[in-house]
Amino acid sequence: MKAYFGRRYMLSASHRLHVDAMSDEENRAAYGKCNNPHGHGHNYTIEVLVGGAVDPETGMVMNLTDLDAVVQTKVVERFDHMNLNHDPMFLNQVPTTENLCKEVFRIVSGELPAGMLEYVRVEETENNFFECYAA
């Protein structure tokens, strides 16, 4: 049987949705006010779910301190209070929350035992959320 453990993290960051290869008009049409040259910020909630067998000795799927060590150092410290457009990860891709979610999944899954990361969910606003799954 597989058990699941989820944990939430918060970070605040700014971004501007703009693709250099598109004209200003195309950018405005695609992104609306999110294309504002001055950017805007979000308080993102990042939810991470890991799954696996419960360790018979510890009684845990994964120790939360181990998960925190990964997510805090590799994700929260990297992006919190940053302009996402300036992160090398977003130099060649627009920092939509779909792309942020995808990259967080890639970063975290690369640090965990293979196959443990089930999904990453990023809440951008009260009404918008994005999810990336292992398969």
Please, what is the minimum distance in Å from the beta carbon of residue 129 to Ni ion?
Answer: 13
For Ni ion, the closer of residues 65 and 127 by Cβ is 127
Contact window for Ni ion (CB under 5 A) among 3-11, 33-41, 45-53, 75-83: 33-41
Contact window for Ni ion (CB under 5 A) among 26-34, 43-51, 70-78, 104-112: 26-34
Give the residue nearest to Ni ion (CB).
Answer: 34
Q: For the chain, what is the radius of gyration of the CA atoms? A: 17
101 DSSP assignment: H
Please, what is the minimum distance in Å from the beta carbon of residue 72 to Ni ion?
Answer: 23
Active-site annotation, residues: 34, 81, 124
Contacts of 125 (CB under 8 A, 6+ apart): 42
Which three-class secondary structure state does DSSP give residue 26? helix
DSSP 35-54: G-TT-EEEEEEEEEEEEEPP
The residues binding Ni ion (CB under 5 A) are: 34
